[in-house]
Structure 1
Amino acid sequence: MTRLSYDRYCEEILTQTDLLREALRHGDLTAKTPTCPDWTLAQLALHVSSAQRGVEKIVRDRVKEFTVPTDETAGTAGAEAFDADSLDAHLAEGARQLVETLREAGPETEVWTFGAEQTAAFWARRMTLETVMHRADVFAAVGAEYTVDAVLAADCLDEWLEIVTSPQAIAYRPAYGELAGPGRTLHLHATDTDPELNAEWFIDARRTPVTWRNTHEKAAVAVRGPMTAVLRVMYRRSSVDDGGVEVLGDREVLDAWLERASF
């Protein structure tokens, strides 16, 4: 599937952050987030901004080596010090700074990333999709209807599959190395997209390394539904039973995948 342009990713960082900010205005910042239960809404928002600001520094300083933090709550400390207005301003400023730095650097600038692609383009895409998915968490917490442009949602699934099957991610999160097993094949099918988007995925997890491709192909289990619904279920933002998707075939294969493929 074709990626978005670098300029489009930069624009989407701002757009998705603005949508997230608008939803936050309707929520209790001290309330726990149902899909990220270890965080309050304020902590989740601060996590998003901290990620954006951390990437901005990597790109601005042309960082070439980096140690991945092991603290899963990194970037959420101090959330209680923010009120609604100051948190909103913090989010807006962080996104603005990141986009300015990305645009100044350009897509080919070499920087450290946790993937095979060691350029600023990796981070433009990663921060767009990071914000897209955490917007789902915020919308769930405030009871808002969550939808995503089909092209963005399909790109989210592409990137997610790239990450959970990559050697770098497997080294960091060993559960990804347990995705493979006898008979484990999955077919994901978005039913509401333009056929030209080719929003279907066949995941072959019968052996290591796990591979995937954008195609219609028979699998042990199939997940069908609207693009946003498939995205939310596969990202574990909705339950399989209540997420608005149809599951055909071996449910145990899907459950085994979801258990190990959290991201």
Structure 2
Amino acid sequence: MNLLPHERYCDEIVLRTEALRAAVRGFDLDAVVPTCPEWTLRDLAVHVGGVHRWVGEIVRTRAVDEVPDERVPQFTPEGEDPAVLDAWLAEGAASTAEALREAGPGAKVWSWSWDRSAGFWARRMAIETVVHQADAALTAKVSYAMAPDLAADTIDEWLEIVAFAQASGDDPGAAELRGAGRSLHLHATDAPGAEWLIEFGEDGFTWRRAHERATVALRGPLTDLMLVFNRRLAADSDRVEVLGDAALLDFWLERSSFG
């Protein structure tokens, strides 16, 4: 799988955070986020900013073990002032991107994943912010768009994470993504080559970029496919089309919610 350049991921952490801040700014911070109903918009912003700062501390210190939240400087913003929250988000994204650029993609650091490198965290934080930018946009009812290569990489990375969760045996939902003879096809209608085939087997699932018939197909604009795949857009939305066994798509979405 071709990754985007490390510098691009670092840039997108800042750019996606700017877009998230623009969606949040001036909106009711106590509004419930429909795609994460356990959170308010303030909770969402604090989560994003806290994760950025946590990763920044891991990378800056070249941590070899997980860093507790209490060891992260300014892990949460001070007070309730929306302007303070906005500045805190901006500073955290910029600081983390700077730490990642300075480290370079090959720097060895702790991660929860198969890849213990700063490069993993640059990609993870860019895509984390891509998805939570969507949460903010949906809450504030503002438009949301994503560059095709970044939207496609968001799907690639999520497949890698779900496969890791299944292989590790630590996630009961991912463990159920098996059963020979079934397959799921994602087909972007506006981005040539943006297609994925997920094939279920007795031992789990595999995936590859391919255009093939499947048990169920999800078709639509690439950004909308990405949003459905990340459970930010309902599969029965009129922005996408489901062909075939819709229950299999629901089966995947219900069990691919690692973390």
TM-score, normalised relative to structure 1: 0.91
Distance 1:162 1:61, change over 3 A: same
Corresponding residue of 2:229: 234
| Cα separation, 2, equivalents of 1:243 and 1:38 | 26
Q: State how 1:240-259 maps to structure 2 within 5 Å.
A: 240-242=235-237, 244-259=239-254
Corresponding residue of 2:116: 118
Corresponding residue of 2:72: none
- The yes-or-no answer on 1:202 pairing with 2:197 is yes
Do 2:49 and 2:88's aligned partners in 1 also have CA atoms closer than 8 Å? yes
| Cα separation, 1, equivalents of 2:4 and 2:249 | 29
Corresponding residue of 1:223: 218
Corresponding residue of 1:14: 14
**Deviation digits for residues 139-164 of structure 1 (CA, Å, limit 9, x no counterpart):** 00000121111100000000000000
Q: State how 1:127-146 maps to structure 2 within 5 Å.
A: 127-146=125-144
Corresponding residue of 1:178: 176
Do 2:183 and 2:197's aligned partners in 1 also have CA atoms closer than 8 Å? yes
What secondary structure does 1:231 align onto? helix
**Structure 2 unmatched runs, 5+:** 70-74
Distance 1:243 1:83, change over 3 A: farther
Corresponding residue of 2:256: 261
| Cα separation, 1, equivalents of 2:213 and 2:61 | 47
Distance 1:37 1:170, change over 3 A: farther
**Structure 1 unmatched runs, 5+:** 70-76
**Deviation digits for residues 7-38 of structure 1 (CA, Å, limit 9, x no counterpart):** 11111111000000111114210111000100
Query: 1:81 deviation in Å?
Result: 3.1
Query: 1:79 deviation in Å?
Result: 7.2
Do 1:153 and 1:231's aligned partners in 2 also have CA atoms closer than 8 Å? yes
Do 1:42 and 1:79's aligned partners in 2 also have CA atoms closer than 8 Å? no
**Deviation digits for residues 88-124 of structure 1 (CA, Å, limit 9, x no counterpart):** 0110010011011111111110011122111100000
| Cα separation, 1, equivalents of 2:128 and 2:167 | 16
Comparing 39-48 and 23-32, the one that deviates more: 23-32
Corresponding residue of 2:66: 66
CA RMSD of aligned residues (A): 2.0
* 1:133 counterpart letter in structure 2: V
Distance 1:203 1:33, change over 3 A: same
| Cα separation, 2, equivalents of 1:17 and 1:8 | 14
Q: Which of these residues, 187, 193, 213, is aligned with residue 189 of structure 1? A: 187
Do 1:232 and 1:243's aligned partners in 2 also have CA atoms closer than 8 Å? no
Number of residues of Structure 1 aligned to a counterpart in Structure 2: 253
Corresponding residue of 2:106: 108
Distance 1:67 1:171, change over 3 A: farther
Distance 1:243 1:169, change over 3 A: farther
Distance 1:135 1:256, change over 3 A: same
Corresponding residue of 1:52: 52
Do 1:179 and 1:257's aligned partners in 2 also have CA atoms closer than 8 Å? yes
Q: Which of these residues, 161, 164, 169, is aligned with residue 162 of structure 2? A: 164
Q: State how 1:90-109 maps to structure 2 within 5 Å.
A: 90-109=88-107
Sequence identity (%): 50
What secondary structure does 2:30 align onto? coil
* 1:145 counterpart letter in structure 2: S
Do 2:165 and 2:171's aligned partners in 1 also have CA atoms closer than 8 Å? no
Query: 1:170 deviation in Å?
Result: 4.5
| Cα separation, 2, equivalents of 1:213 and 1:26 | 42
